[in-house]
């Protein structure tokens, strides 16, 4: 989307349509923006409705550089008329120019129906176009906002904005040498009745308002002191994410904190939960150190603990994730690790006797480490020995070198993984974790996807029985057709064998989110 945005204002071809004009107008709703621009140039009857569609139906466009500025200039050609169609705008500008900032201000002054506005480089926008903050503050229909690289005027905007905001992201500038996150206590106080999803790099120090409708909170920092305030401000929270992987947005305040300070923060947070805490969370995610310091004693349905080096550049000790797991008593668990960082004793220390029914291991295989297939096979051997005292029954293994499973593998890693004998790895695992009932090993490449259920043969020995590799890996086999869920009349999920589950994924580290 790096090409300049062009929509001609005066080039038309006179033509008699073969289709009824109303049918053509309906079909125009299905065109992408390049096809729509071409259709607008056919005749004047298509141009005016095309302008409306072009402006109103582009929330999905993430415009970069010249494309974003060209779009703004197109709207400015008839700003009174065209800006009223604008519903969403999210340009990608990491170095906002003076001309872009001025054009943006010119459009925003008339975009009274705008609902989604995501801006980066906010400090430079205000420098180039003074008044842009006041203009945004006057908007009354905003539902989704994101302001990054924001300084003091934008913080005041967040404190005074009065729109029915449902989703908000606020990343304010903060000196790296300060020892605590900036204060978010008075932010979005006029949006308490509408706000549902919030991402911030700030901390709530005091209780000015209660956001009773917020169900999802993402913290781009690890300053987890004062958990009682967080619980009071967001009493009905369902998801809590502590994200340090977005290193260009996030900041660690506990990076150099000694162990006794981290332990003290944990003790204080657990002490206040004697009187107040969340009843249950659907999702809790974060790095092991932050979650350990958080000390949350709340029942969690799905817990994700990141033990990769990431921001802290060091592997956390096993007692961090072990303590977090015991605190949360999750129904489903994912552990994100890097290949080679943990041995069988570490896996034993983390998972032995833990009554978790579903576990995921997300293992980073770094291409620049020149990992061989023998090392990957050795990992399965180490893991199997580390799982001998667990109750796992469903295991899904994803092998990847990328930050997300949907991303393609690098050619070198893909070729290496294809050489691995996956059935051999599977046999290693069931030899160690003998309570397994379901096992899936896959990569982002469909060529490497194998699934088995584990059954007892006539001699009482465990055997792998191949079944189709279908369904969502995160469902741990629960979405399989009934024919593959049963073995000799009993469900592999709820049969006579112990029922727990493990998902393992080899991947890389990640770093956001639209209106409901």
Within-domain flag for 200: no
pLDDT higher than 80, residue 5: no
Contact (CB, 8 A) for 97 and 66: no
pLDDT in tens, 449-473: 667 777 776 777 777 777 776 666 6
- Distance, CA of 453 to CA of 497 (rounded, Å): 12
Within-domain flag for 429: yes
Q: Which domain holds residue 361?
A: 331-510
- Distance, CA of 174 to CA of 152 (rounded, Å): 10
- Distance, CA of 91 to CA of 377 (rounded, Å): 45
Within-domain flag for 363: yes
Q: For a pLDDT cut of 90, what percent of the chain falls above it?
A: 40
Closest CA to 106 of 82, 142, 141: 82
Total tally of structural domains belonging to the chain: 1
Please state, in angstroms and as integers, the Cα–Cα distance from residue 513 to each residue in 197, 400, 516, following that order.
9, 23, 10
- Distance, CA of 387 to CA of 372 (rounded, Å): 23
Within-domain flag for 369: yes
Which of 92-96, 99-103, 383-387, 479-483 shows the lowest mean pLDDT across its residues? Answer: 479-483
Average predicted confidence (pLDDT) for the chain:
81
Within-domain flag for 114: no
pLDDT in tens, 315-342: 889 999 999 999 999 988 898 888 889 9
Q: Can you tell me whether residue 171 is helix, strand or coil?
A: strand
Within-domain flag for 391: yes
Within-domain flag for 310: no
- Distance, CA of 348 to CA of 388 (rounded, Å): 8
Instruction: Please give the backbone phi and psi of residue 41, each rounded to the nearest 5 degrees, phi first.
Output: -85, 0
Contact (CB, 8 A) for 473 and 399: no
Element (H, E) at 398: strand 394-399
pLDDT in tens, 344-358: 999 999 988 888 878
Please state, in angstroms and as integers, the Cα–Cα distance from residue 393 to each residue in 134, 191, 301, 357, 384, following that order.
58, 45, 18, 8, 13
pLDDT in tens, 166-195: 999 999 988 766 778 889 999 999 999 999
Within-domain flag for 82: no
Tokens representing residue 173 in the block: 């500038």
Contact (CB, 8 A) for 432 and 494: no
DSSP-derived letter for residue 85 is G
Task: Indicate the pTM of the whole model.
Answer: 0.84
């Amino acid at each position: 989307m790096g090409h300049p945005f062009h929509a001609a204002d005066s080039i038309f071809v006179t033509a008699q349509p073969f289709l009824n004009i109303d049918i053509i107008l309906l079909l125009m709703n299905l065109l992408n923006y390049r096809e729509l621009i071409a259709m607008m140039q056919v005749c004047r009857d298509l141009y005016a409705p095309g302008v409306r569609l072009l402006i109103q139906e582009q929330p999905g466009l993430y415009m970069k550089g010249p494309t974003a500025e060209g779009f703004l200039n197109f709207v400015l050609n008839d700003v009174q008329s065209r800006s009223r169609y604008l519903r969403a705008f999210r340009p990608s500008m990491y170095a906002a120019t003076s001309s872009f900032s001025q054009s943006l201000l010119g459009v925003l002054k008339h975009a009274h129906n705008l609902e989604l506005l995501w801006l980066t480089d906010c400090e430079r926008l205000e420098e180039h176009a003074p008044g842009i903050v006041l203009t945004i503050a006057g908007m009354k229909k905003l539902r989704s906002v994101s302001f990054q690289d924001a300084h003091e005027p934008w913080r005041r905007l967040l404190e005074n904005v009065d729109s029915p905001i449902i989703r908000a992201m606020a990343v304010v500038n903060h000196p790296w040498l300060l020892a605590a996150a900036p204060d978010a206590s008075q932010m979005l106080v006029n949006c308490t009745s509408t706000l549902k999803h919030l991402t911030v790099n700030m901390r709530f120090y005091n209780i000015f308002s209660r956001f009773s409708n917020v169900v999802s909170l993402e913290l781009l920092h690890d300053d987890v002191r004062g958990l009682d305030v967080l619980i009071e401000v967001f009493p009905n929270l369902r998801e809590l994410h502590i994200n340090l992987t977005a290193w260009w947005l996030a900041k660690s305040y506990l990076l150099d904190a000694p162990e006794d300070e981290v332990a003290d923060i944990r003790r204080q947070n657990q002490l206040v939960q004697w009187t107040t805490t969340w009843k249950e969370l659907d999702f809790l995610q974060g790095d092991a150190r932050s979650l350990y310091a958080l000390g949350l004693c709340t029942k969690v349905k799905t817990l994700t603990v990141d033990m990769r080096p990431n921001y802290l550049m060091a592997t956390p000790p096993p007692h961090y994730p072990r303590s977090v797991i015991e605190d949360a008593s999750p129904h489903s668990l994912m552990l994100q690790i890097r290949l080679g960082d943990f041995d069988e004793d570490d896996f034993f220390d983390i998972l032995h006797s833990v009554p978790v029914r579903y576990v995921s291991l997300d293992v980073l295989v770094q291409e620049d480490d020149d990992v061989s297939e023998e090392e990957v096979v050795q990992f399965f051997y180490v893991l199997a020995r580390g799982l001998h005292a667990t109750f796992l029954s469903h295991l899904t293994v994803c092998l990847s070198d990328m930050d997300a499973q949907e991303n393609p593998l690098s050619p070198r890693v893909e070729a290496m993984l294809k050489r691995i004998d996956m059935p051999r790895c599977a046999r290693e695992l069931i030899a160690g974790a003998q309570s397994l009932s379901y096992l899936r090993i896959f990569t982002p490449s469909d060529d490497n996807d194998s699934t088995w259920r584990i059954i007892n043969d006539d001699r009482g020995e465990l055997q792998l029985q191949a079944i189709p590799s279908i369904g969502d890996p995160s469902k741990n086999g629960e979405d399989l057709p009934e024919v593959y869920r049963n073995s000799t009349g009993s469900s592999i999920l709820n049969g006579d064998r112990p029922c727990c589950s493990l998902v393992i994924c080899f991947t890389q580290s990640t770093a956001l989110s639209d209106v409901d």
